[in-house]
Amino acid sequence: MSEIDLKKEGVTGVNQRLYKLPKDSNERHWVIRNPMGQHAIACGLDAPLTVEIQGHVGFYCGGMNKHADIIVHGHAGVGVAENMMSGTVWVKGNASESAGATANGGLLVIDGDASSRCGISMKGVDIVVGGSIGHMSAFMAQRGNLVVCGDAGDALGDSIYEARLYVKGKVASLGADCIEKEMRAEHLEDLAKLLERAKRNDRPQDFRRYGSARKLYNFNVDHADAY
């Protein structure tokens, strides 16, 4: 295990050390200390590393991640795991707005709550939130799964495409073109796997599924008020 003190090296220094690791390096497990809520920590990683961040992080931590497993032992600011491609980003605390925004793949786990716009425009990522999420989450979500073990705020899934939303608690309101859907055996099976990956003990049978009514794919004057 290798350690880096961000207070001494700064964000650029920390990220550069991780970028420049040789592909055959044995230094695969890194610990970042004193993150001090700085932004863009461990962004753009493109190697099978394990990176543990001991403390709170600012905006866009783990953004554009590819292959790495990033663990935040604290809270995360806006846009954690934004545009992630693969790998894992795991936040042990809460996350601010736009967690997992535009992410194409991988797994984002938030043990606590996530703020508004969680999973906005998600494009294939799997997101599991142990607590609740704020308003406008999964707005224009295209593909992937959003699992919420708590409650969901207003306008869940507004203008959603083909992403699947699973909520255990209450939903304040559904957004345009988002409806509750039947929970079939295949969905229970997929949800069970996601909960297991996130080390959750919740029962899949306690969740409800939401998705697109598919009425906004093409403009229809009869639905103009919904746009």
- Retrieve residue 37's tokens: 């809520």
What is the overall mean pLDDT for the chain?
Answer: 96
What pLDDT shows up at residue 223? 65
**Tens of pLDDT along 168-179?**
999 999 999 999
**If pLDDT is split at 50, 70 and 90, which confidence band does 226 have?**
low
Task: Domain ranges for the chain, please list them.
Answer: 35-215
pTM greater than 0.75 (yes/no): yes
- Retrieve residue 219's tokens: 């403009």
**If pLDDT is split at 50, 70 and 90, which confidence band does 127 have?**
very high
**Tens of pLDDT along 92-106?**
999 999 999 999 999
What pLDDT shows up at residue 216? 79
Q: Which residue type occupies 18?
A: L
- Residue 49, pLDDT above cutoff 70: yes
What pLDDT shows up at residue 23? 82
Q: Work out the burial of residue 59: count CB atoms within 10 Å of its CB; fewer than 13 is exposed, 13-18 middle, 19 or more buried.
A: buried
Q: How far is CA 158 from CA 13, 41, 217, in A?
A: 40, 30, 13
Phi/psi at 15 (5° precision): -65, -40
Is residue 177 within 8 A of residue 156, CB to CB? The reply is no
CATH architecture of the domain with residue range 35-215 = 3 Solenoid (2.160)
What pLDDT shows up at residue 215? 86
Beta strand 164-167 with 208-212: parallel, antiparallel or unpaired? Answer: antiparallel
Q: What is the mean pLDDT of residues 140-150?
A: 98
The upper half-sphere exposure of residue 147, i.e. CA atoms within 13 Å in the direction of its Cβ, equals 30
What pLDDT shows up at residue 222? 73
What pLDDT shows up at residue 120? 98
Q: What is the mean pLDDT of residues 70-78?
A: 98
Q: Average the pLDDT over each of 15-29, 108-122, 141-155 and give the range with the smallest value.
A: 15-29
Residue (of 50, 56, 48, 134) closest to 92 by Cα position:
56
3-state helix, strand, coil in the chain (%, to 5): 15, 30, 55
Q: Which helix (H) or strand (E) holds 32?
A: strand 29-33
